[in-house]
Structure 1
Amino acid sequence: MAGGERTSTRIELARDGFGDLGEADRLLGELVEELALARHEMLVGADAAADPDAALGALARIARRDSAAVADAMRRVGPTIWLLVGASSGFADFFLRHPEELAHVPGPGGSLPTAEEMVAELREAVDADDDGFARHGDEGAWVSLRVRYRRLLARIAAYDLGATDPVEVLPDVAAALADAAGAALEASLCVARTRVAGGGVGAGLFPRAQVAGTQLAIIGMGKTGARELNYVSDVDVIFVGGASDDLTEEIGESRVIDIATRLAVQTMRGISGMEIEPPLWEVDANLRPEGKQGALVRSLDSHLSYYDRWAKSWEFQALLKARPLAGDRALGEAYVAAVQPKVWTSAARENFVDSVQRMRERVTDFIPAGEVAYQLKLGPGGIRDIEFTVQLLQLVHGLTDDRIRQRGTLDAVEALVAEGYIGRSDAATFARDYRMLRVLEHRMQLRDLRRTHLMPQNPDGLRVLARASRLAPDGAAVWTLWEGIKREVREIHVRLFYRPLLSAVAALPAEEQQLSTTQAHDRLAAIGFRDPAGALRHIGALTGGLSRKATIQRHLMPVMIRWFADGVDPDYGLLAFRRVSERLGDTPWFLRMLRDSSGAAERLTRVLSGSRYIGELMEWIPESVAWLDSEELIRPRSGHALQEEARAIQTRHETAREAMNAVRALRRRELLRLAFGAVLGTLTIDELADGLTTVSEVTIQATLRAVRREVVPPEDAALDFSVIAMGRFGGGELGFGSDADVLYVYDPNGIDPQRAHTLSLQLVAGLRTYSEDHRVPFDLDADLRPEGRNGPLVRSLESYAEYYRRWSLSWEAQALLRARGVAGSVKLIGRFMALADDVRYPARVALQDLREIKRIKARVENERLAQGADRSRHLKLGPGGLSDVEWLVQIWQHEHAHRVPGLRTTSTLGALEAARAAGLVTDAPAERLATSWRLASRLRSANTLLSGQTSDVLPTDRSKLDGIGRLLEYPPRSATLVEEEWLRTARRARRDFEKLFYG
């Protein structure tokens, strides 16, 4: 060959994918000469080969043995030959052993063999008669069987490798492989019958009539049963033996099982035993009762007895895919029909879901560390993650829904999404990734026709896999594809496989899995609904119809009803859930999140049945359901973040009214977020108080900015105006339902004093008007101002100074102890606080001033409690309540803060701790006082959350007390415990108060 021609040939070889161009050129020359074919004829289809170099080498070896067979095949079906030997050295070796089999390789555009065709072909290979016996029982029959099976396998592989879209044809290919396995077992059983009946060398002898009368059903399990088998995989089976009543009576059941066992052993040997032709695959019967230690063959009754008494959860999971595969069809059908009810009730077994989850984790744990990253089947994000997820969903929900009782993984995914158990997006991803993983697995197994699930660990192996699968352009890309699939699969697996709803559904009593109209009324009443008829109406409204939304609600409802029933007020919880569901309409994420998230549905039932405050707010902010899917989203947002949002709101709205509508929505939203945290127990009382205080501060600051923009004209911009927080607001100790006590102060700062006063009154009026919220009241209470309700609503700083210098009463100095600037001019706040410090932290307190504070405290207790009210139950003014602790601490602050800097704080508990550190109170009473103050604060907020209404009185209604207790994380039915704990705690605090305050 001339140099130019050789160069041209090598360029063509490189273009076709050959790597070793010199060796390829040499072998091609050899084949051209040996087969009398032109080079271009030889290379037709070579560019589609996964490994052209290996294919060419294989063709050369086969041609050296039988050049005529290779020449004929290359002329007739050359492209298919390149596909087969290029993707599989296993097929190359097969054709090397049997070159004559090249004549049976199909051309392009061929079809898959049917199950019936394969059974007929393999029975023909062993020369089986109509009675199911082979003409000969020697090893030659098995060799013939194995050769003919590989001929069929080559036909399946040719169809698979030649498909335009291997991912699309994967289910058909896997089904054909499973059917081929069944046909092989059927043919091997024919040989086994002949051998067991005396037609084989070395086999035990039984009369032919007894062998013919013995039934052996071969049940396909795992991928074989599901018709989703690999090219080379263990074929999992269970053997069931039997015979007619007459034969059983004649020879005894033990002899029948003995014959059936011999048949099973010989059938397995025909497939897996070592012969001249290599084994096909391993026949694995270890899924049988008792595994390797159990009898290879049992009667149907023996199987059922075992499953009723001894079977573990994983055995029922395995039986999900059971299918008659070969042998006696009637016995196989009877076996499957008998075990199916046991499969679909297995999820009701104790800890079923947990056991399946642990089993999946154990599979992963047993993978050698060096293989984890390459494990296509067993590793994280691999095939097993998809299969276990799908099977667990099927087993849990299949008890009541026979539409999802599918053997195949892809069929099951379709059924699960159709019936609303998984989302369309997750299902589509699972199905696509499962098909691609299986295509990769098939190509890896075709390479050597051996069982493997490990991705190639070298660039050459990845390159061949990419070309064989056609899923990626090169080796690096196929690895990137694999990594992406792993991440997708693992994320969905973790979310669905560990979905709390699964454990909850599995734990439901069987009678509660479905809500039948005839029994539901009594059942709802029995589990705690006070208005079962109303609950039924709500359930009907939520689950009625044929929409996907109604379908998912039907799946959710049995579990959510049980969770509602475990809550404080099931009836209200269900009603609120209906309202939220209706407000969200057909929003796709809502029900999907409840179904798929790690606990959102249970948290939703808890907050709705535990708090009318939350239920009423959620009706206005239904999208808040999404927060329940994340611990982070129910944490309080920082003051800085809220300030930024409030400022952004004001830049988007021109008028104060428009801006305040948005700020009001912000406040409601953040109050709801805090309420979630309080009810779900993710916030401490200190975090809650801080969060409520921050929300109030941001609201006032935003309102003041909006009002000032409308009220104060540019020429009066020098006016300074500030809001001073007082009381619990000033102390940063707000609870749900607390008013915001405030003072208003201004400084003319150079403008006309009367004009400044008028503008300040307008600012106050605007603040009060725009801060009003009919849904969640926000009262700016200025009653702690000088002269109380009789005094001016707003004063200048100079007026405050004059008043405190000349007229201030002891209670007014006491009120200033919790004064803290929260909005407006920072400079003015600083000047006011300096003034307040002189009043509230005097160098010396007159004895008559202390006596006046004590006198006022006694009068407040007597006059401000409603007539006839039970003083012991008043959380604020009653004995040991908030007022006792706060007045005691404040008298210490007023008297000693001038010399004890630690007492100069607006925080009640902070000042109490400073008093203890200063020796004003010993440890024990300080602890009792703090405990009472904290408990009163928690009870007060819980009461508001429960009822949606503000009250300072501990209710006497037992159900309300129990509800308050549940919010405070007491066990159910703790009304008496809550009541007794408060009365006991308050009584101890009162004794300490009287001793320290009046003593």
Structure 2
Amino acid sequence: MSLPTLVALPPSLETLAKRALAAFEPAAGALGAGPATPFAEWPPERRAAFARVCANSEFVAGQALRDPAMLLQLAGGDTLERSLAPDELRGQLAALLADCGDEEELGRRLRRFRNRQQLRIVWRDISRQADLVETCRDLSELADACIDLACQWLHARLCAQFGTPLGRRSRLPQQLVVLGMGKLGAGELNLSSDIDLIFAYPEGGETEGERRSLDNQEFFVRLGQKLIKALDAITVDGQAFRVDMRLRPYGSSGPLVYSFNAMEQYYQDQGRDWERYAMIKARVVGGDREAGRQLLEMLQPFVYRRYLDFSAIEALRDMKQLIRQEVRRKGMADNVKLGAGGIREVEFIAQVFQLIHGGRDRSLQQRPLLTVLATLEGQGYLPPPVVTELREGYEFLRYTEHALQAIADRQTQMLPDNELDRARVACMLGCADWEAFLERLAHWRERVDWHFRQVIAAPGEDEAPEERPVDTRWLPLWESAGDEASACRQLSEAGFADPQQVCQRLAALRGGSQVRSMQRLGRERLDAFIPQLLALAVEQDDPDLVLERVLPLVEAVARRSAYLVLLTENPGALQRLLALCAASPWVAEQITRFPLLLDQLLNEERLYSPPQEAELAAELNALLLRIPEDDLEQQMEALRHFKLAHRLRVAASEIAGTLLLMKVSDYLTWLAEAILDQVLTLAWRQMVARHGNPRRGDGSPCDLDFIIVGYGKVGGIELGHGSDLDLVFIHDGDPQAETDGAKPIDGAQFFTRLGQRIVHLLTAQTPSGQLYEVDMRLRPSGNAGLLVSSLGAFQRYQEHEAWTWEHQALVRARVLVGSPRLAAAFAQVRAQVLARPRELDNLRREVGEMRAKMRANLGTPSTAAGTAENAFAAAAPFNLKQDAGGIVDIEFMVQYAALAWSHQHPELLRYTDNIRILDGLAQAGLLPCDEVRLLQEAYKAYRAAAHRLALQKQPGVVGGDQFQDERRAVMRIWRELGLS
């Protein structure tokens, strides 16, 4: 939403405004000529703002009358009408404390500084010169400055008294680390917020340098106590900040300060779900910032799990249930923070996504809520209309919270019960009256609560966790409460074909080591999940098959029961899982091997709508940009997960019929290209960082003068679900010239190592498998040749040494990624090699002989590779790819045609895929249109069958009675071209 509108003051507030002006003018005038801009010389806009602010805020009115010089100095310094620059506020406080003599004076100066800045911030907020973000930022920077500078001041005084604390092992000076939690950590402090802090120090030891030494723990406890007193104690000048230390380990009963090791041990062994929620916003706000950064890195695995953690939904739901019970008990329904549809619910919505996905998606590892909401929209976790409503609702609620607190600088989120404060709140929110305000508030609370229920609330009614309904129909069967005969009867009546086998499978799961070793919470989740699984399985056409394929997944994730929560909490995702597993054992196996893929099932629209080529590349690039450049392990895992996720989406779309065969291959090829592009960038960056840039022949540095050429299926844009990549690497550097880095090597070594690095990144096994199998045998001289060739060497080999079958392979070769300049040069070389005139009799003979060898070695022996009389019998197998009349025959005919006629028809070399080359043959009149259509339809039918078989984890073989017309036609055209 935009800033609340400045509306006319109602009569009750107009009266207060006039009183404030009447009282302040003589008080300010009595100061004489000291301030830079006397009140009498204020412009009308500032006087009007003063009247409005004082009418709405008793705090500002009181401060102005108590210390008119402070307000006049603020106005004279121009900070009422402008935003502060970064660190400007800190600089002001540092100057103020420079000559501070003792702790009492420290407290006095901190409080006066806080009051001065609080007046400025409230003024700018009420007069709408600052929006919500600026107000929260100024308040947070004010707290940061007070905490950090007071900490530094106190640390120096304690060191002078007891010596400098040193680490026992490192022998390095130690400083306190102050973590800001909650709204302070997120930079979202409200106008009268307390500050949640946690104190820590790096390591144990003692102070040294003075007669009396202290243990580091005691030193930092004293420092923490003094810091709290400097900020929290109420004096004649008020209070700087209320300090809340209850978020520290063990809460109020625990020590005030912890060493890093103790902190890590606590969160590892005893950290609770609500502490993960709180730690999301932890930020170093004072003390040793570098040590604080190290501490947060140590604690990050506790906050952000490396797997999808849907148990976070349960934890946040339980927290919300406790809050709601407390709200009801204390009659706090009018609390805009804790009540239904309040600020806390928006925070919960954002943080549940952070806790679930933040371990893998680092873009969610942020603190400010509005930034997190923008990321949830940008990354597709929530639809834009939902994010818009949550953002606008949150802003309205926060403006309301600020209005409530601006009145008297009091920490409250309760709606007022008196007419004057109601008029103030309505006025500050830009509403005509209290009723209009309540109407807008009710609207936003209703929308926030509705979205909260969609994300976090339990299915069904808003019940306590232990009261959530379970499908009791199947619970006794799973718990083995009844006898086997009755269980089999129940299963049979429900539609299971082999109920005894189902009972045995469930018993094996229940008695298996994975389930027996589960902790209580995990077993409770499993007991809630299995009845739901059985209830949905019976809705499938073949429930026996579904359980056979899904139960291995259940066993695989039993010890990571958060996945069970995901499926229990999302019945739609469970239904999609069962449907996909029923349709494809390949999909079932993939999800069982990589359960993190369950995340893809949550969004049905996204699952069945893979992104287009440019979107795919942009998504992967954005994903890797969020990972530090030096974190290779995380980069490799991100690449692998990206590939697994998008390959599943393509398979799901193919199964659902939303993607046709040609589009399936397009998407799988785009996916490979996007990954190769990033792999090349990573490998190049690593090599250059180690050895410097290689050189070209003219001595200039190479700028990624390297290309990855794809052959075979990837070159022909025909990748399948399990296809490997046939690749060739080509560079355009000087093999003799050395690189310009600290560890120089010659160009030949550089590019060879670059190629090796690329292959390693693609093929290395990680917890998420490998990216691709890579076949480099099509490079010049095959396995005996160099891993990487210069373009000149590649051209010479193709022109003088390559066999005909290598030129056939070149027909399907194209540059996948790399230097555009080098790619254009490669295209010219390819065209020159392929378009040279050939003696057709020799070409037909060589192509035919190569095909005969392939049939002999790879075809079906029992049918002489599909040429024997029995090849068309129903019992005879037909290899879709290798037997006569199959895929390779069509590919060889297309390659023969390109080699035979491209010197006269260069347009045949424009494309590398068989379908479009066949189109070119028809357009050039080289093959009859009917025969081209026949070959294209046969080719697509074969490939579609091969895709279906791959999803069924079956070889590309069908019965001999299938595709008989297609096979005979392909064999006839083969003979007519003279290739037999």
- TM superposition score normalised by structure 1: 0.45
> Which has a greater percent of helix?
1
Structure with bigger gyration radius: 1
- TM superposition score normalised by structure 2: 0.46
